[in-house]
Amino acid sequence: MLALRTTETISREAIAAARAGERVAIFADTLEAAQAFAGQAFELVHSEDRAHVRRQIGDASVSFPEGGKVNFLSTGHSSRGRSLDRAYVPAAIAHVDAAAIAPCLATSRNPQMIGYFPE
């Protein structure tokens, strides 16, 4: 079954997974689109989370004390050396970009590459 997700739903899912200790990345077609995801996700982080929010353009992320983290990246960004449990990617991602992201999921016990349709 194909479930269509909105960008807000993806941001909510990613933050919830990171709160639980997962390593997550949201990839978007452009850096601007990745920053839009970051902006939505930052609004979902509460002071009681004790999370570290990094707003640097090109390296935006949210880190939680339990070890979970969400990175916001463009598909053209090098994902080399990253270790992820979950990656959100545009449904129309180029094969070469998906192939570059896939090794990041190799060390996860439950790897997930989740496609979405950009709004």
pLDDT tens-digit map of 43-91: 888 888 898 888 887 788 999 998 999 999 988 877 778 899 999 998 8
pTM above 0.75, yes or no: yes
Domain assignment of residue 73, yes or no = yes
* pLDDT of residue 2 exceeding 50: no
Nearest to 72 by CA among 10, 21, 9, 5: 10
Query: What is the span of the domain harbouring residue 74?
Result: 7-116
Gap between the Cα atoms of 57 and 75, Å rounded: 15
Query: Do the domain assignments include residue 61?
Result: yes
Q: Which residues pair with 25 in a beta bridge?
A: 71, 87
Nearest to 85, CA basis, from 3, 5, 19, 6: 19
Q: Does residue 1 sit within a domain?
A: no
The tally of domains found in the chain comes to 1
Say if residues 34 and 60 touch (Cβ distance below 8 Å).
yes
